[in-house]
């Protein structure tokens, strides 16, 4: 159970973050959603109140003291880790939204007859990432933890149906396929590997292992297809 000193420190940190976001909003360096998220995190910590009776009574045989909390799910992890996950995921969601919007805004820059398949695919990819992160945030808020990762990350992305769908969407031209491999698939694999190297908690390690497996499978399939077109 987290002690009062740790809880106070986390509250102070969250409050400072909230106040900073409000200042950034006035300077157009933050969005209203970011301010609202910082406020929600602070209020969740502010309302996190362990039952004083349970805190003062020694645990009896077969019983474990359980903290109660008003208007917020008790995190199934350290509050500091819970707060950091919310902050990290919120940043990741906003970045995905930003990248999606940047690419969407570029659609009008091209003549009507231009083939924009690659750009549209990028937009859909960032949209899917934004939605996936939003689902993680919603699950985390509701359950106090992230969903359990798959025991076999390759199995999620290695089915014949998914391979067939991926191959069907690959460019039929060798030049375009090589461009996709070099400019998109390999960089995604590189970013996933870097994320795995930097991951500190078991949750993020499992997340990036899954990403590496998925990206590696995509690169391998694209390479095989490229060889077949030689």
Residues 188 and 224 in one domain: yes
Look at the chain and report how many structural domains it folds into.
3
Span 61-82, mean pLDDT?
51
Residues 194 and 122 in one domain: no
What's the whole-number average pLDDT of the chain? Answer: 75
Residues 124 and 167 in one domain: no
Residues 170 and 197 in one domain: yes
Closest CA relative to residue 40, chosen from 109, 103, 86 = 86
Residues 123 and 169 in one domain: no
pLDDT at res. 73: 46
Tell me: the pLDDT tens digits for 185-221? Answer: 999 899 889 888 887 766 677 778 888 998 898 899 8
The residue from 94, 117, 146 where one domain ends is: 146
Q: How open is the CA angle 122-189-161, to the nearest 5 degrees?
A: 70
Residues 197 and 137 in one domain: no
Q: Tokens 């995905």 label which residue?
A: 96
Tell me: the pLDDT tens digits for 79-127? Answer: 677 778 888 888 888 888 898 899 888 888 888 888 888 888 888 888 8
pLDDT at res. 203: 66
Residues 138 and 154 in one domain: no
Q: 42 is in which domain, residue-wise?
A: 1-72
């Amino acid at each position: 159970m987290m002690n009062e000193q740790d809880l106070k420190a986390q509250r102070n940190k969250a409050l400072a973050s909230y106040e900073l976001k409000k200042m950034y909003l006035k300077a157009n360096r933050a969005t209203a959603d970011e301010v609202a998220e910082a406020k929600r995190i602070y209020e969740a910590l502010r309302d996190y109140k362990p039952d004083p009776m349970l805190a003062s009574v020694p645990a009896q045989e077969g019983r474990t003291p359980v903290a109660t909390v008003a208007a917020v799910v008790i995190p199934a992890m350290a509050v500091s880790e819970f707060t950091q996950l919310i902050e990290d995921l919120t940043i990741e969601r906003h970045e995905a939204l930003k990248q999606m919007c940047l690419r969407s805004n570029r659609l009008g820059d091209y003549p009507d007859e231009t083939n924009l398949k690659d750009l549209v695919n990028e937009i859909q990819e960032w949209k899917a990432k934004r939605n996936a992160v939003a689902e993680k945030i919603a699950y985390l808020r509701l359950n106090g933890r992230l969903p359990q990762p798959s025991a076999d990350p390759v199995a999620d992305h290695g089915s014949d149906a998914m391979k067939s769908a991926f191959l069907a969407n690959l460019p039929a031209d060798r030049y375009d396929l090589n461009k996709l491999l070099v400019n998109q698939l390999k960089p995604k694999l590189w970013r996933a590997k870097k994320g795995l190297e930097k991951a500190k908690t078991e949750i993020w390690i499992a997340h990036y292992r899954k990403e590496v497996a998925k990206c590696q499978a995509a690169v391998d399939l694209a390479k095989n297809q490229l060889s077949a077109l030689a």
